[in-house]
Chains A and B, each alone.
Chain A
Amino acid sequence: DTEVTQTPKHLVMGMTNKKSLKCEQHMGHRAMYWYKQKAKKPPELMFVYSYEKLSINESVPSRFSPECPNSSLLNLHLHALQPEDSALYLCASSHAGRGNYEQYFGPGTRLTVT
């Protein structure tokens, strides 16, 4: 099973709201990722967690706050977003450590900030 699930599928939020995106995998992967994809653009990496610790933060604004509560779950907490943050947010996972591992993506959460 190579499934990564994401909830919700769609989210509309105002600029003063607080919301969270959720990602889950049961493939035993110990690396998890958040990517942001604007319309007609490729995905861009936001964060990487490795063994439940944040290992890469690609200079993402603090209004995005990631959390990895356990090896299967990855959250992205959203607060005070701007309309330009509207995008498809993709979660991915892979094995971690030394080796050659591919990333598996979830279906994404389509976020609209009004």
Chain B
Amino acid sequence: AQSVTQPDIHITVSEGASLELRCNYSYGATPYLFWYVQSPGQGLQLLLKYFSGDTLVQGIKGFEAEFKRSQSSFNLRKPSVHWSDAAEYFCAVLLRGSYGGSQGNLIFGKGTKLSVKP
């Protein structure tokens, strides 16, 4: 069955330190992968996406993610964390429609809460 695993429930990093959030997926075909960020009580903001091509994708707010098919992973990284990055981060895989269209079900991981120490 298709699934997304985020092994870390909560991560705390110091401001200015580097960050890596882990994501592993299980999907039979080529996955379409996403990272979203959610501040408390807010909607989800798309950070970046992977559909195909270059396995290192750049996103907004200085985030990047690397797709590794051999490890079924799509880890999110940032070289220097800012206090405003504190939020919940969700990795997701898209289950495509039966007719091949891309409108379908986003399967989310359980999320990783990021706290930032001053």
Shortest CB-to-CB span from B48 to chain A, Å, is: 9
Task: Find the A residue at minimum CB distance from B97.
Answer: A55
Shortest CB-to-CB span from A56 to chain B, Å, is: 7
Mark the stretch among A60-68, A73-81, A102-110 that contacts chain B.
Answer: A102-110
A105 touching B44, Cβ below 8 Å? yes
Q: Is B42 an interface residue (CB 8 A)?
A: yes
Interface footprint category on B: 20 to 34
In Å, the complex CA distance between A2 and B46 comes to 10
Q: Is A69 an interface residue (CB 8 A)?
A: no
In Å, the complex CA distance between A31 and B104 comes to 9
Q: Is B102 an interface residue (CB 8 A)?
A: yes
Interface footprint category on A: 20 to 34
A56 touching B46, Cβ below 8 Å? no
In Å, the complex CA distance between A82 and B102 comes to 33
B103 touching A107, Cβ below 8 Å? no
Q: Which chain B positions have C-beta within 8 A of A104?
A: 46
Q: Which of B92-106 contact A (CB under 8 A)?
A: 97, 100-106
- 25 pairs of residues in contact across A and B, judged by CB atoms under 8 Å: A2-B46, A6-B43, A35-B106, A42-B90, A42-B111, A45-B106, A48-B103, A50-B103, A55-B97, A58-B105, A90-B43, A95-B102, A97-B102, A98-B100, A98-B101, A99-B101, A101-B102, A101-B103, A103-B106, A104-B46, A105-B36, A105-B45, A107-B43, A108-B42, A108-B43
Q: Which residues of B contact A (CB under 8 A)?
A: 32, 34, 36, 41-46, 49, 51-52, 90, 97, 100-106, 108-111
The 8 A-B residue pairs with the shortest CB-CB distance, nearest first, are A42-B108, A31-B103, A100-B51, A105-B44, A107-B43, A105-B43, A101-B102, A45-B105
